Structure 1
């Protein structure tokens, strides 16, 4: 059943985009940009992974078990090689409203169709969706359909695995650094996130 839902999204994505923009004002002639958005949890609960080192040397890595977290919010536009990001203390509707407002402002020259997962704070009654944004909710249990997952993988691999952080502020600084690096590499960002079903024009 889940596989069929996944296939349905991929097959019908163009139609979902067309439906999402059908109610916009006729006077609104801004180009449509397809984005994917997601939230990732980062904290002081360390993850140890294999690491390269010189022959004959056994690598050592610290590990910590401190349950303190913050959240990265990212929306990526693969066709443009651009993304918007915030680091926020919680994952809830209030924070999502802040993030959507930022995306709407940063991409004010576009009409945004944004793919998100089915988290309650993406669909709740208190969610404030800006005038130039429409949401498409992907099927349950389908993170592989969301391009932002590749951004989380990249940031964690290069900045978080085998690391020990003295404070949550250090986690925040590291996350901001990793996201900023990708923002400055538009070609890299596009190559990581330009999923086939998002390569459409309306």
Structure 2
């Protein structure tokens, strides 16, 4: 059995300007842009191993969620999967057709702190997206794709973010 935790995150061409280091007397310049173009990253992680599955999709809705669940099911065809996720409307849609080997387990309402995937998004944004301006949505998606592949190929790093003691203890007991 595979216990996976799932979440989505919005990424846009509007960047997050943060403090950065520069030698004195250099004063760093950080570009900023306000635009309303977004894409969405879907991710599910197995806390025990740090294995991450992700997809970049244009929306957060039932159709995109269906694509993501189908992809995760296809990546793990011989495993039974319990997918822990928040209570967003498209997660509970009656239109979702779950893969045969998958069950959804909703988190309590208004409890994002229970989902360690939120910390994956924080790490991803901090290390790969702050103080960046993208010329186009395609450029943003290219960067997101490279970053997600980096995370997918580094299970020990992802595990260090998501393997919370209470989750691992719950799996072992």
TM-score (normalizing by structure 1): 0.81
Structure 1 unpaired stretches of 5+: 1-31
Instruction: Kindly tell me the number of residue pairs found equivalent between the two proteins.
Output: 171
TM-score (normalizing by structure 2): 0.94
Counterpart for residue 101 of structure 1: 70
Residue of 28, 53, 58 corresponding to 2:27: 58
Q: How far apart are 1:109 and its partner, in Å?
A: 2.3
Whole-Å separation in 1 of the counterparts to 2:90 and 2:164: 24
Counterpart for residue 184 of structure 1: 153
Are 2:56 and 1:87 equivalent residues in the alignment? yes
Structure 2 unpaired stretches of 5+: none
- Cα RMSD of the aligned pairs, angstroms, is 1.2
Whole-Å separation in 2 of the counterparts to 1:136 and 1:179: 24
Tell whether the 8 Å contact from 2:49 to 2:156 is kept in structure 1 after alignment.
Answer: no
Residue of 31, 37, 43 corresponding to 2:12: 43
Q: Which one has a bigger Cα radius of gyration? A: 1
Tell whether the 8 Å contact from 1:74 to 1:85 is kept in structure 2 after alignment.
Answer: yes
The equivalences for 1:137-156 within 5 A come to 137-156=106-125
Counterpart for residue 37 of structure 2: 68
Q: How far apart are 1:55 and its partner, in Å?
A: 2.9
| Secondary structure, aligned partner of 1:198 | helix
